[in-house]
Structure 1
C-alpha cells in the first residue's frame, strides 16, 4: 500500500504524506497537491511577495497532481496554494497534507522537517502491546486547560504530566484532538490540518518530544482523531479544487462536512493521516470519534447503513493492523452495530476496543437515583455483564459527561454534599473493578464541581480542601490496587475473569462479585444505599483468611470509617452458590475489596 503516483488515485495508500505536502530536499522545497478539477494551481508565500500569478505549479499527470520545486527556501517557509477555476478566479487554500499551519485567524501552511527528530524510546516501542491482558486506565486530557501558566508547551507539559501520571498511577494519556483547528471551542473536533499538530502548544519536534518523554517514563499516548467530518472554512478542504473533492452532499449535525469515502483518494488521505501520527510521532493508540456516523448515514440507523463508511473502516483498520499490530484502535461508537471489535477477516470492523456508552449512561443514571427507587432499577447495574463479552469494551467517563449542563461526575451523584462524595467513591470502585479497560477525564479525580471549560484550567485549588484532597488520595490508591492485582485486568475479556456473587438483591441494593486473575482473586462488595450493616455475609470461592484491600469509607478518605479492620476467616457454610462465606461490615454507600491472604 505504499504510495505510487502512477496508480493514484485508484490505488489505496497509507503513506501518501511522504509524497504530498511540502518536503525539504537538497537546494529547496518540493510542493505537491491534488486538485483534479482546478484549471490551474499556483504557489504563493513570502518568498514571492504572495503573488498568486507568479509561481505556477506543474500538472504532472491526468489525475490532477500538481508539483513545484522552489529553490533557495527552507524550513518555516510560509505558503498557500492558489486554486484557479476556469474563469480565472482563485481561492487561497491551506495545504491538505500540510505538516504545520498558522494559528487562526491565520491559515497559511508552514514547511517543517518531519524527519529531524530522533526518538529515544526503543525500550517502549519494542515491548508495546494492545494491553488486552494488562492494566489500562487512561487519563483523558485537554492540553490547553489541564494546567495553565501562560507558557505551557508540549515539552513542558510532558514533564508535568509524567509527574502527575506517576503520582496518580494512570497507565496512559489520551489527548483530545491536537490536529490543527481554528476554533478552540470545538475542542479540536473541527479540524483543518489532519497532518498538523496544533501550533497552540509548540512545534512538531516539541510534540514528538512530548511523546518521547512519556514513553521513556512508561506511559502510552493515545490520540483522539476525527475520521468523519471537517470544518467548512473556505481555506480548508471544502470545495478544495472548485468541486466537492473531499466532501459529500450532506452537512453533519455539527455544521461540518462529511468525508466522501466512496472516493479512494479520500480513503488514502485519512488513512495516511493516521499512519503519519503512528509512524512519525510514535502514537500508541487512536480513539476514533463518532464512528456511528461511518456505520449509519448521519449516525442514524433509520437512514440506513453507510456502506462506503463501513468499507473504509474495515480497509483502514485492516491496513493499520497489518502494518502496526501493537497500536490500539479504539471506537467511540454509540450504535449497537455488531462485531466492532472483531477482526476484519471475521466480518468485523477491526477495532481493538469500543467505548461502552451504554454502561456509562446506565451507570450514571443509577447513581443519580434516590436510593428509595434503586431497587426498581437494579438492572441498570446488572445489564452490562449480559452483553459485555460481545465486544471488547472500554469503560469511559469522558469530557462529554462533564459539560453542557450535565454536571460533573461528583455533582451528578444523589444526595447532600457528604453523600455525593460517598457515592462517587462507590462509583469509582465499581468502575475500576468492572471488566474492561478504563478512561477518566481530567478533573474527575479532583471531584470537580465546576463543569469543564476549555478556556480555564482545572480548579487545582480544590486540593486545599480536605474532602477533595482525600478524594484524590482515594483515586490514587484505587489505581494502585487496580494496577497491582492481575485479577482486575488480566482476564477482562475472558469468561473466567468475572463472576457475580450476589446479583439479585434488589431490596437491599447490594451487589457483590469476584474478579479472578492468574495470581489473585478479589471480592468486591458495593452498597448502593445509606443503610449500614454491622454483619453481612458474602459468599467466597475459596476457604481462607481474607483481608480488606481498600474501603471507600476509610477515615483517610474522609469516610465514616466503618471498615473491616481485622482479617476475616471464612466459614464452611455455603452462600450465594459458593462453598464458603465471610462476615463483613458494610458502611452506608460503602464499597470494598477483599483478597485472600496467601
Structure 2
C-alpha cells in the first residue's frame, strides 16, 4: 500500500468499458475496439451468475447482492461489469451522470478523486463494494480509502479498456498469433484512459476452463480478491491492466477451477521468473539491450547454413564453469572458442526449469531464460557478444513434453489444457511428463510462437529440437496407445506441428537452422514441407554415433572383424542432411567419457581420441562435440560439478584440444570438408574395404573439384609403404597427422609429403606410398593447392 496527500493524486487514468455500456474514450491493443469483447459471450446469461463477463445496463446500475458477493470474493468472470465507472440513467431512461464502484473491504470511508480534483463520496453497498455518483461524463480518477488514521490512494484497474484487441483475440482463437508473447503474459506499458495515460502492467492469460482468474503478487500482498481478471471471449482469454505495477514485481495467476478449487499457477508466457527453487513469475522490463550484431544478422540472412561450415561445441551453461552468469560466461567462453576454432556453440536448454538434474529438458518457463544465470537482457548480451566474435548460437528446444509440477503448465486451469486429456496420448512414461496436445491449434500456437520468440527476441541462430522420435510415434515407449485415424502409429498432429514450426521459422528468419534430434528411420526429416517432409534443415545422425562408438571401443586387435560398423554410415550418409553428434547423452549416466570408451593404456586412449575426432570431422556431416571431450576428460560429466579444467595443463590432454583446434582451422578454411556435405559428389572412395589393416581412405571434394585425401588407421601398427590411389599427379603434403608430436603423438608420418607415380590403383591413374602411423589419421592435399 501507499499513502499520498491529495495534492499528489495522479490524474493520468481512463475509463473502464463497464461491460461495454456507454463506454467512451480509452484505447485497445492492436485491432481493438471501444466495446468490451465480453459482451457477445455473456449477454444472455442469467442474472446473478458470477461466471458472466458483463451485465445489462439495468444490472450495471443496480447489481444484485449475489453479483456484489461474487465480485467481492474475486470469483466473478466479469468484474469490470460491476466495478469501475458506468453511466447513470435518469428515471426517464436518459443518461444523468456516472456511477463509480470500487472494492475496498474493511475501509471506513471511500472517495473517488477525479482528474479535476473533484471528490465523489462512495457509500458502502455490501460485501466491501462501495458506490458513488457524479453528474459528469466518464473521467480519470483514483480511489482514496481511509482505514482508521491511514489513507490509501490507488489507481483503479477497473476503469480501463481491455489491453487485448479484437485482432489479437481473433488470431489467438485461430491459433495463428505468431507474436503471442506480445499479447499474453505481463507487459509494462502506458495505457490510455479518458484524459491521459497510466503506467502499469497488462496481464493476460489463456485459461478456458477456469470460472475465475485473479492476479496475485507482491503488489497486492498476494490477495487475489483485489485483482480479479475479466474473461474477454469464449476462447478463454483473461485480462487485467493494473496501474503502478513495475518491472520486478513477482506474481502468479490464481484460477478457480470448474470444481470450485483455487489453484496458483506461474504465467505460461512469463518472460522472467524467480530463481529456482522459487516458482513465481516476474514482471519483465521491456528489453533494454542494444544489439551490436547487425553485420552478423545481415550475413546470416544471406547465408545457407546447411551448406556452410558448422562445427558445434555443445555445453551445459550451468556446469561449464559453475557460478558464471550469462555476462561472465561471455568473457570466459569466447576466448576459449577462439582457441578451439568451433563455428557454433550449442546450449542445452536455457528456458526455465525447476529441476537442475533435468539439465533443462523439463521446462516450466518456455518464454523465460533461466534466472540461475541472470536476466533476459543478460542472455541477450551473451548472444550478442558471441555473434560479434563470429560464433553462431544454437539452443536446445523441448516442445515434446513438459513436467507435471503443480505450479506450471500441467492441468493449468484445473483440467487438461496444454496436455492431451487421454493419458495414452498425453503422458510420456519414460520421463514422467505430460505430452502437449498437438491437435489443439492454440497449443500449437503456444509452441510455434515460442520458437519464433527465441529466434526473434534473442537472435538465436538455430533450434535443436529435442526428442523428436517421441513426438512422431503414438506407440513410442508405450504399451497402451491410440492409433491415428488411418490405424497407423504415426502422430499426425505432432507431424503437422513440426512442419508448421519448421516452415514458419525458416520463413520468418532466413539463415537460421532447425535441427532434429531424431533416432529412427522416419522418412523425410530434412525434406522440405512442400515435398511432404518435416522441414528440418539438419538431423542428428544417431546411427553414425552408435555404430562408431561401438566400433572404436573394440581393441584394435579385433577391429578388423567389425569393419562393417565403421563403413555402414556411408550407406545412408546422404539420405538426410546430418549432424554427427558426440553429445551429452553419450558421456553421462554410466556411459563413461569419450576417454574411458577408448581401449588401451593412457597414451593409446588419447591416440584413439585424436583419430576418432579426425574421422568425425572428415566424415560427411556437421561435427558436434560435448564439452570436456575436447581435452579428453576421463571422468564422466555430471551437472553438479564443473569440468576437470586442470587437465588442460597436462601436455597429453592439451594435445587433444590442439587436435580439435587444428581440425577446426582446416575445417573452416577447406570447402571440401563442408560444401558438399549433403551431396554424394562430395566424397569419393579410395579404399573402404581394407578390413585386414583396419584402414579407411577416401577423398572429400568441394564444388570446384578440389580434394583432400584422408587415410585413417584404426590398427595399432605402423603401416609403412602403404599405397593408395590419388586423383592428381605430383606432390601431396600432410595437412593433418594426429600422430604429430605436438599433438601428443609419436611423430611418425610423412613430413616431406609424398609424390605420386603413374601406377594405377583404386580406380585412379596415380598412386603414392606413405607411412600411416598407428591409431592415427593422415590428411593430404596437393602441394600446389
Q: 2:532 aligns with which of 319, 323, 347?
A: 347
Q: 1:256 aligns with which of 433, 437, 441?
A: 433
Q: Between 123-132 and 442-451, report the one with greater CA deviation.
A: 123-132
TM alignment of 1:197-216, pairs within 5 A? 197-216=369-388
Distance between the aligned counterparts of 1:471 and 1:371, measured in 2?
20
Tell me which residue corresponds to 2:354: 182
Q: Between 228-237 and 584-593, report the one with greater CA deviation.
A: 584-593
Give the drift of 1:118.
2.1
Distance between the aligned counterparts of 1:345 and 1:240, measured in 2?
35
Asked if the contact 1:135/1:489 (under 8 Å) is kept, the reply is yes
Say if 2:708 is the partner of 1:522. Answer: yes
Q: 2:592 aligns with which of 387, 407, 411?
A: 407
Say if 2:182 is the partner of 1:18. Answer: yes
Tell me which residue corresponds to 2:305: 131
Would the alpha carbon gap of residues 559 and 591 (structure 1) be closer, same or farther in structure 2, given more than 3 Å must change?
same
Give the TM-score of the pair, scaled to structure 1.
0.97
Give the drift of 1:4.
2.7
Distance between the aligned counterparts of 2:776 and 2:171, measured in 1?
64
TM alignment of 1:54-93, pairs within 5 A? 54-93=226-265
TM alignment of 1:409-488, pairs within 5 A? 409-488=594-673
Tell me which residue corresponds to 1:280: 457
Deviation digits for residues 539-571 of structure 1 (CA, Å, limit 9, x no counterpart): 101111101111111111221111101121110
TM alignment of 1:246-395, pairs within 5 A? 246-248=418-420, 249=423, 250-252=426-428, 253-297=430-474, 299=476, 304-395=489-580
Q: Between 9-18 and 326-335, report the one with greater CA deviation.
A: 9-18
Give the drift of 1:300.
5.0
Secondary structure at the residue paired with 1:162? helix
Give the drift of 1:271.
0.7
Q: 1:45 aligns with which of 217, 227, 231?
A: 217
Tell me which residue corresponds to 2:104: none
Give the drift of 1:86.
3.6
Give the drift of 1:88.
3.7
Give the drift of 1:298.
5.2
Distance between the aligned counterparts of 2:714 and 2:171, measured in 1?
62
Give the drift of 1:590.
2.0
Secondary structure at the residue paired with 1:394? strand
Distance between the aligned counterparts of 1:121 and 1:40, measured in 2?
45
Would the alpha carbon gap of residues 406 and 216 (structure 1) be closer, same or farther in structure 2, given more than 3 Å must change?
same
Deviation digits for residues 127-183 of structure 1 (CA, Å, limit 9, x no counterpart): 0134223211010011111113x3x21111012111111111000100001100001
Give the drift of 1:482.
1.4
Would the alpha carbon gap of residues 68 and 435 (structure 1) be closer, same or farther in structure 2, given more than 3 Å must change?
same
Tell me which residue corresponds to 2:689: 504
Asked if the contact 1:114/1:280 (under 8 Å) is kept, the reply is no
Give the drift of 1:410.
1.7
Deviation digits for residues 245-264 of structure 1 (CA, Å, limit 9, x no counterpart): 01122421101111111101
Distance between the aligned counterparts of 1:381 and 1:483, measured in 2?
25
The two structures, once aligned, show a CA RMSD in angstroms of 1.4
Tell me which residue corresponds to 2:266: 94
Deviation digits for residues 557-590 of structure 1 (CA, Å, limit 9, x no counterpart): 2211111011211100011111111110011112
Say if 2:277 is the partner of 1:105. Answer: yes
Distance between the aligned counterparts of 2:563 and 2:608, measured in 1?
16
Asked if the contact 2:455/2:461 (under 8 Å) is kept, the reply is yes
Deviation digits for residues 81-139 of structure 1 (CA, Å, limit 9, x no counterpart): 00112454201100000001112221110011243322111100000134223211010
Tell me which residue corresponds to 2:76: none
Distance between the aligned counterparts of 1:251 and 1:89, measured in 2?
24
Structure 2: runs of 5 or more not aligned? 1-30, 32-166, 191-198, 482-488
Structure 1: runs of 5 or more not aligned? none
Give the drift of 1:466.
1.6
Tell me which residue corresponds to 2:7: none
Distance between the aligned counterparts of 2:665 and 2:478, measured in 1?
41
Q: 1:6 aligns with which of 170, 179, 196?
A: 170
Give the TM-score of the pair, scaled to structure 2.
0.74
Tell me which residue corresponds to 2:136: none
Distance between the aligned counterparts of 2:290 and 2:745, measured in 1?
49
Asked if the contact 2:247/2:284 (under 8 Å) is kept, the reply is yes
Deviation digits for residues 442-487 of structure 1 (CA, Å, limit 9, x no counterpart): 1111101111011111100012222111221122112111111111
Q: How many residues align?
A: 595
Tell me which residue corresponds to 1:574: 760
Tell me which residue corresponds to 1:539: 725
Asked if the contact 2:172/2:180 (under 8 Å) is kept, the reply is no
Give the drift of 1:7.
4.3
